[in-house]
């Protein structure tokens, strides 16, 4: 069933759902935390559009807190809609560690944006005021939030690690496939900040950044899949 509206609000009637599935969506947080911006709107997470190893602790804390607040709200809203003993299966993109680490997909997009700054095609200020509302949680982080929120029990939680587009052997074709997937997922937010036209320059930079990344590092998709049962 499709339904309009944000999943951080009530969407469905009370006690109406027996099975809920959400795929690759709940790691999109409701907003970039406003506390990461200084008084002139510049991000304290300069050069990166999500949390990285180099992020100040206050930035790491702010993204974590936003994810925690959002997931709690998501669970609370769904708990009103799911029948007692009903199930919810969620799959999110996460990370293997609690340590802050730049996700490769946002690393390549950050790199592509930085390259456009170096070429004078966008200003440093414009780039530094951009961030993505994404948080890649660890399994432990998800477990803790679900247990503390208390509406659901965890029946099963698993992680599946796969390489993006690994079935494509030609590195150029693979980079193209990954670039298209990253563009599809991020296009609206990037266009909203930089304007639609940015993609003419950004897309080739993105593909180049992915090619470089593919030569040195894996493009790991760390999936966290959890099955919950409504208890209250």
Ligand X SMILES: C[S@@+](CC[C@H](N)C(=O)[O-])C[C@H]1O[C@@H](n2cnc3c(N)ncnc32)[C@H](O)[C@@H]1O
**How far is CA 129 from each of CA 32, 48, 172, rounded to the nearest angstrom?**
11, 10, 31
Cα 118 to the center of its chain, rounded Å: 26
Name which of residues 169 to 228 contact ligand X (CB under 6 A).
185
User: Which range binds ligand X by CB under 6 A, 18-26, 45-53, 102-110, 112-120?
Assistant: 18-26
* Size of interface with ligand X, in residues (CB under 6 A): 9
> Closest distance between ligand X and the C-beta of residue 165, in Å?
15
Q: Which is nearer to ligand X, 149 or 201 (CB)?
A: 149
Provide the mask over 23-52, with x wherever binding to ligand X is found by CB under 6 A and - wherever it is not: xxx--x-x----------------------
Tokens of 168: 């494509």
Q: Which is nearer to ligand X, 48 or 186 (CB)?
A: 186
Q: Which is nearer to ligand X, 30 or 80 (CB)?
A: 30
Could you tell me if 5 and 12 are in contact, meaning their C-beta atoms sit under 8 angstroms apart?
A: no
User: According to the 3-state scheme, what is the secondary structure of 158-195?
Assistant: EEEEEECCCCCCCHHHHHHHHHHHHHHHHHHHHHHHHC
Taking the CA atoms of 192, 194, 200 and 201 in sequence, report the sign of the dihedral they define. negative
> Closest distance between ligand X and the C-beta of residue 56, in Å?
26
Binding site for ligand X (CB under 6 A): 6-8, 23-25, 28, 30, 185
């Amino acid at each position: 069933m499709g339904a309009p509206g944000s999943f951080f609000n009530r969407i469905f009637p009370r006690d109406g759902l027996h099975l809920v599935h959400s795929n690759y969506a709940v790691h999109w947080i409701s907003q970039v935390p406003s506390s990461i911006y200084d008084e002139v709107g510049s991000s304290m997470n300069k050069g990166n559009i999500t949390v990285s190893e180099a992020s100040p602790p206050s930035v790491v804390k702010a993204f974590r807190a936003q994810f925690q607040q959002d997931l709690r709200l998501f669970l609370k809203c769904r708990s009103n809609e799911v029948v007692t003993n009903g199930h919810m299966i969620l799959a999110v993109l996460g990370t293997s560690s609690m340590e802050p680490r730049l996700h490769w997909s946002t690393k390549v997009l950050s790199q592509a944006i930085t390259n456009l700054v170096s070429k004078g095609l966008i200003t440093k200020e414009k780039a530094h005021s951009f961030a993505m509302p994404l948080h890649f949680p660890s399994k432990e982080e998800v477990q803790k939030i679900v247990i503390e929120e208390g509406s659901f029990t965890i029946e099963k939680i698993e992680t599946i690690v796969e390489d993006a587009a690994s079935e494509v052997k030609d590195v150029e074709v693979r980079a193209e496939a990954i670039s298209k997937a990253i563009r599809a997922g991020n296009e609206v937010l990037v266009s909203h900040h930089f304007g639609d036209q940015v993609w003419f320059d950004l897309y080739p930079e993105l593909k180049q950044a992915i090619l470089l990344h593919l030569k040195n590092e894996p493009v790991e998709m760390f999936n966290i899949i959890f099955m919950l049962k409504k208890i209250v």
